[in-house]
A and B are shown apart, each in its own frame.
Chain A
Amino acid sequence: MGHPTGPWTEKRLMVSPTTPAPAVTASIQSAAKPTLLSIRNVAKTFGRNAVLRNVSLEIAEGEFLTILGESGSGKTTLLRIVAGFETATSGELWMGDERLDRQPPYRRRVNTVFQSYALFPHLTVEQNVGYGLRVAKRPAAEIAQRVADALDKVKMTAHAKAKPSKISGGQQQRVALARALVNRPRLLLLDEPLSALDANLRRQMQVELKSLQREVGIAFVFVTHDQEEAMVMSDRIALLRSGELEQVATPREIYSRPATAYVAQFIGHTNLLKGDVRGGVVRGGSLSWATSLPDGPALFSLRPEHVRLAGTGGPPGLVRTRGRVLHQAFHGATELIRVECADDLVLVMRTASGGGALHEVDLEFSAADAVLVRESPERN
């Protein structure tokens, strides 16, 4: 991988094969709820290919946790290990004082909503939803009642007698949800359940799913590659990269305090600034600002919305620079502007729309908004 020509760059090009970062463990708990599931040092290899390495994660009762990652990051494998469809190469799963990973999937009080819904094609909607209760040999009256309630909850009562092939994708989605929730699992796993839906339905389902989760109070572990979806729905996000957790935090925290360069870039847009700290001053090309960091190289993430067009005067402590506009992309309420500054530094800024075409601009940002991040080591 080549190094960039200048000291500053907005691309993640300066990643160097340094020593691997220590595994991030999720000690942060949302609102100190009791732990429901504890994933301890789980690793999975397929042949020589390490899909998961040493993943530890605690899932609290009633929380909505999203496992976010690119394809191939191991997120689906992790979910399948919790569901019991895959066996971890090493590590343990604990639910209370019960060792979950030694139980077959049909004994775990965990249910799954599959990516392709996996509804039984030979059974009606009603029979699909009642499947779990029937195999558990619940009394017929109880099954009928609970199935009716579950169908009502997902607004599918009208289609109770239909076969899955006769209903739409969004409706199949609801049936899959009802089929899982009717069993009152302690934990619901959702494997990219919205990825097959079109954009509008998808946004609608995100909201519905979140409010349904609040209503039933069951912990959801939601797998997605869509960072926006993760931000909208989650109490916490666990960001997985190449089989290791990069950061586990609330959406706000992960956005405003990304732990690594990878997280900063994966969640939203960012400028990555590479600099050197010497004697309480960060220097990178023509930019510099005061800091309390110890001496040495440092990497910062600066969100585009924290870069502004410089006004006259302004409070002290602002870092200023000047540059030429390369590209101006209209995004509705805001626009993203790429500005080429001195020393090959390209800064992306987000401003409110309506300023018209720009050419030469003065920029400023507050040093406090440049968040120190760790470099993400190469993996694979």
Chain B
Amino acid sequence: MFSRAYKTAVAAPPLLWVSVFLLAPYLLMFCYSFWSVSSSRTIVHSWNLNNYEELLAKTVYWQTLLRSMWIAARVMLFSLLLGYPLAYFLSFYAGKRKDLLYQMVIVPLWVSYLVRAYAWKTILGSDGVLNTLLQYVHLTRHPLDFLLYSPFAVVLTLTHIYTPFTFLPIYAALEHVPRNLVEASHDLGATPVQTFWRVIFPLSIPGVVAGATFAFVLSLGDFLAPLLLGGPSGIMISNIVVSLFGAAYNWPLGAAISLGMLVIVVSLLFFSERLEKKWSFS
């Protein structure tokens, strides 16, 4: 239908974009991960597996990775627990207020990430809103110090930030559940609870998988929330990468960790896409 030249012309800009800004950097990172740093702090372009050996040998990297995954898993769980009921209510019971409520869920996405993270700092700090309130009503005598600079603070903040990302695909999936299936279920004698578990929930699984993937992957790679609110116990893997590329000036090791992360994330995306496909029926 279209000429070969036309097709090439249309495809060229995006291909070029992806090559220059995505593939080339990844390739460069891949190369870096097999190089090393000399004692005089210059990058030596000699191929070796030292970085990967160091990664496997030092438990600090493993522990931080595991902690990051544990934080990401909790963020995923809480985002689902918040996002699903919200999406379900909006899709099935909000009636005329649906659009307004939907906007209210979406609006926080337009507020800067930093503002939202700092907001939690003001709330959770030892002189923060929450501690002041708790002391005022005499629930505690001293400020609670586990609120800020802890994995708790990171999980809370990331949950707040990424719940809309979980909500959106679930809401979209629920909106696509044909309402006559719900009627058919009631018609066949299923109570509302039975209908939810046997019809509505199974048909919303693709949205749940997509939302869970968003929350997990985005949290796993996050470095600002742990930087601002995590404290020493809330350090995540990305913070290590940041410091390796910055102060520590060990780009090759940083690249090796990044590559490891990339492998984890890509396998997760692959797995979640398979799961979504398995539960799609259109």
- Known: A118-B178, A118-B180, A118-B181. Is A132-B202 also a contact (CB below 8 A)? no
Q: Could you tell me if B189 and A122 are in contact, using CB atoms closer than 8 angstroms?
A: no
Tell me whether B87 is interfacial, beta carbon within 8 Å: no
In the complex, which of the residues A114, A122, A165, A183 contacts B184, with contact meaning CB atoms closer than 8 Å? A114
Q: Could you tell me if A105 and B203 are in contact, using CB atoms closer than 8 angstroms?
A: no
CA distance A183 to B184 in the complex (A): 13
CB A300 to nearest CB in B, in angstroms, measures 44
Considering only CB atoms, which chain B residue lies closest to A189 in the complex?
B187
Contact with A along B158-189 (1 / 0, CB 8 A): 00000000000000000000101101111111
Q: Could you tell me if A114 and B188 are in contact, using CB atoms closer than 8 angstroms?
A: no
- Interfacial chain B residues near A106, Cβ < 8 Å: 186-191
CB A288 to nearest CB in B, in angstroms, measures 56
CA distance A95 to B138 in the complex (A): 62
Q: Could you tell me if B186 and A105 are in contact, using CB atoms closer than 8 angstroms?
A: yes
Give residues of chain A (123-172) contacting chain B, Cβ–Cβ below 8 Å.
131-132, 135-136, 163, 165
Tell me whether A83 is interfacial, beta carbon within 8 Å: yes
- Known: A105-B183, A120-B199, A122-B202. Is A179-B188 also a contact (CB below 8 A)? yes
Tell me whether B47 is interfacial, beta carbon within 8 Å: no
- Interfacial chain A residues near B183, Cβ < 8 Å: 83, 85, 105, 112, 114, 118
CA distance A165 to B178 in the complex (A): 15
- Interfacial chain A residues near B186, Cβ < 8 Å: 84-85, 104-106
Q: Could you tell me if A183 and B203 are in contact, using CB atoms closer than 8 angstroms?
A: no
Tell me whether A96 is interfacial, beta carbon within 8 Å: no
Q: Could you tell me if A105 and B180 are in contact, using CB atoms closer than 8 angstroms?
A: no
Tell me whether A111 is interfacial, beta carbon within 8 Å: yes
Q: Could you tell me if B184 and A112 are in contact, using CB atoms closer than 8 angstroms?
A: yes
- Interfacial chain A residues near B122, Cβ < 8 Å: none
CA distance A104 to B183 in the complex (A): 11
- Interfacial chain B residues near A84, Cβ < 8 Å: 186-187
CA distance A106 to B198 in the complex (A): 14
- Interfacial chain A residues near B203, Cβ < 8 Å: 121-122
Tell me whether B281 is interfacial, beta carbon within 8 Å: yes
Tell me whether A116 is interfacial, beta carbon within 8 Å: yes
Tell me whether B194 is interfacial, beta carbon within 8 Å: yes
- Interfacial chain A residues near B191, Cβ < 8 Å: 106, 135
Give residues of chain B (194-220) contacting chain A, Cβ–Cβ below 8 Å.
194, 198-199, 202-203
Q: Label chain B's interface by main secondary structure.
A: helix
CA distance A131 to B186 in the complex (A): 11
Tell me whether B146 is interfacial, beta carbon within 8 Å: no
Q: Could you tell me if A135 and B281 are in contact, using CB atoms closer than 8 angstroms?
A: no
CB A42 to nearest CB in B, in angstroms, measures 19
Tell me whether B279 is interfacial, beta carbon within 8 Å: yes
Q: Could you tell me if B188 and A135 are in contact, using CB atoms closer than 8 angstroms?
A: yes
Task: State which size class the interface on B falls in.
Answer: 20 to 34
Considering only CB atoms, which chain A residue lies closest to B177 in the complex?
A121
Task: State which size class the interface on A falls in.
Answer: 20 to 34
Q: Could you tell me if A122 and B279 are in contact, using CB atoms closer than 8 angstroms?
A: yes
CB B181 to nearest CB in A, in angstroms, measures 6
- Known: A105-B183, A118-B183, A122-B279. Is A135-B189 also a contact (CB below 8 A)? yes
Contact with B along A88-108 (1 / 0, CB 8 A): 000000000000000011110
Q: Could you tell me if A165 and B281 are in contact, using CB atoms closer than 8 angstroms?
A: yes
Contact with A along B265-282 (1 / 0, CB 8 A): 000000000000001011
Contact with A along B131-154 (1 / 0, CB 8 A): 000000000000000000000000
Q: Could you tell me if A183 and B189 are in contact, using CB atoms closer than 8 angstroms?
A: yes
- Interfacial chain B residues near A179, Cβ < 8 Å: 188
CB A182 to nearest CB in B, in angstroms, measures 9
In the complex, which of the residues A85, A110, A120, A180 contacts B181, with contact meaning CB atoms closer than 8 Å? A120
Q: Could you tell me if A114 and B180 are in contact, using CB atoms closer than 8 angstroms?
A: yes
Q: Could you tell me if B189 and A136 are in contact, using CB atoms closer than 8 angstroms?
A: yes
CA distance A344 to B46 in the complex (A): 105
- Interfacial chain B residues near A83, Cβ < 8 Å: 183, 187
CA distance A179 to B187 in the complex (A): 11
CA distance A138 to B181 in the complex (A): 22
CB A134 to nearest CB in B, in angstroms, measures 8
- Interfacial chain B residues near A135, Cβ < 8 Å: 185, 188-191, 194, 198
Contact with A along B105-116 (1 / 0, CB 8 A): 000000000000
- Interfacial chain B residues near A132, Cβ < 8 Å: 188-190
Q: Could you tell me if A121 and B187 are in contact, using CB atoms closer than 8 angstroms?
A: no
- Known: A106-B191, A121-B203, A121-B281. Is A131-B185 also a contact (CB below 8 A)? yes
Considering only CB atoms, which chain B residue lies closest to A164 in the complex?
B281
Q: Could you tell me if B180 and A116 are in contact, using CB atoms closer than 8 angstroms?
A: yes
Considering only CB atoms, which chain A residue lies closest to B205 in the complex?
A122
CA distance A116 to B181 in the complex (A): 10
- Interfacial chain B residues near A114, Cβ < 8 Å: 180, 183-184
CA distance A85 to B182 in the complex (A): 10
Q: Could you tell me if A118 and B190 are in contact, using CB atoms closer than 8 angstroms?
A: no
- Interfacial chain B residues near A116, Cβ < 8 Å: 180
- Interfacial chain B residues near A104, Cβ < 8 Å: 186
CA distance A165 to B186 in the complex (A): 22
Give residues of chain A (176-228) contacting chain B, Cβ–Cβ below 8 Å.
179-180, 183
Considering only CB atoms, which chain A residue lies closest to B279 in the complex?
A122
CA distance A116 to B279 in the complex (A): 21
CB B186 to nearest CB in A, in angstroms, measures 4
8 pairs of A and B residues whose beta carbons are closest in the complex: A121-B281, A132-B188, A118-B184, A135-B190, A118-B180, A105-B186, A112-B187, A106-B186
- Not counting A118-B181, A121-B181, A132-B190, a sample of 18 additional A-B residue pairs whose C-beta atoms are within 8 angstroms of each other reads A83-B187, A85-B183, A85-B186, A106-B188, A107-B189, A112-B183, A114-B184, A118-B183, A118-B184, A120-B199, A121-B281, A121-B282, A122-B279, A132-B188, A135-B188, A135-B191, A179-B188, A180-B187
Interface of B with A (CB < 8 Å)? 178, 180-181, 183-191, 194, 198-199, 202-203, 279, 281-282
**Please, could you name 10 A-B residue pairs with CB atoms under 8 Å apart, sorted by A?**
A106-B190, A111-B187, A111-B188, A114-B183, A118-B183, A120-B199, A121-B181, A122-B279, A180-B187, A183-B189
